[in-house]
């Protein structure tokens, strides 16, 4: 939820990032449910964000509980906006002719590793983006952690970038290392995901 300039109103982000799921995907039934929510509670307006989520830009604060209940019924109540599992990803090698590597399985692995709500909130605001080629559809180069899929001699490899920023002090991150294979890039998250 975000503040709204009109008193008694807010804008609500609907996450399309289910834990362990494909980021940005929704079923036809879920889209129908969101359309119904927008019609009933959102002045018939719905927006798609660059972060692969949906936004109800104008809702009454008094309707937030009803909206939440409707999102639970549609299996769209993942409250992970801005958290580690709110990962932006390009469509990857399975869907794009330009891609060099798969991004969706990497996202699913990271999301599953950090999927517990308490763990996500303990980590706080951490943004991850992944692209499957140098065209950078996932904007991997401008967020806290960026992952770029590359191809070398027929092998899918991944490059890590750390420390970018998209705020008023925008900066491009530093490349940490080139050439992790897919198993190693997703395994890097495993030690961090163990409960403490």
Domain locations in the chain as residue ranges: 2-73, 88-193
Q: Which of 169, 192, 180, 167 is nearest to 130 (CA)?
A: 180
Q: Which residues pair with 2 in a beta bridge?
A: 11
Structure token pair of residue 62 = 């008094």
* Mean predicted confidence (pLDDT) in 58-73: 97
Taking 90 as the threshold, does the pLDDT of residue 4 lie above it? Answer: no
Reported confidence tier of residue 69, pLDDT bands at 50, 70, 90 = very high
Q: If you classify domain 2-73 with CATH, what class do you get?
A: alpha beta
E-strand ranges in 33-182 read: 47-48, 54-60, 88-89, 128-131, 145-152, 155-162, 174-181
pLDDT tens digits, one per residue of 160-187: 888 877 777 777 777 876 677 766 665 5
Q: If you classify domain 88-193 with CATH, what class do you get?
A: alpha beta
Q: Which of 144, 147, 142, 162 is nearest to 102 (CA)?
A: 147
Three-class DSSP category at 83: coil
pLDDT tens digits, one per residue of 97-126: 999 998 999 999 999 988 876 888 888 888
């Amino acid at each position: 939820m975000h503040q709204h300039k009109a008193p008694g109103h807010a804008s609500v982000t609907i996450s399309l990032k289910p834990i362990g799921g494909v980021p940005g995907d929704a079923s036809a039934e879920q889209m129908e449910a969101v359309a119904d929510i927008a019609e009933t509670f959102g002045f018939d307006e719905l927006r798609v964000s660059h972060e692969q989520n949906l936004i109800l830009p104008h809702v009454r604060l008094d309707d937030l509980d009803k909206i939440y209940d409707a999102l639970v019924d549609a299996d769209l109540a993942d409250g992970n906006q801005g958290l580690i599992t709110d990962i932006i990803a390009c469509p990857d090698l399975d869907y794009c002719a330009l891609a060099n590597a798969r991004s969706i399985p990497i996202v699913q692995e990271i999301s599953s590793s950090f999927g517990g709500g308490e763990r996500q909130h303990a980590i706080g605001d951490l943004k991850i983006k992944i692209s499957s080629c140098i065209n950078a559809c996932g904007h991997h180069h401008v967020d806290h952690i960026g992952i770029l899929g590359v191809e070398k001699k027929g092998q899918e490899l991944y490059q890590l970038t750390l420390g970018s920023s998209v705020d008023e002090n925008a900066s491009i991150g530093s490349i940490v290392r080139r050439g992790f294979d897919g198993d190693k890039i997703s395994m890097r998250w495993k030690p961090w995901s163990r409960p403490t």
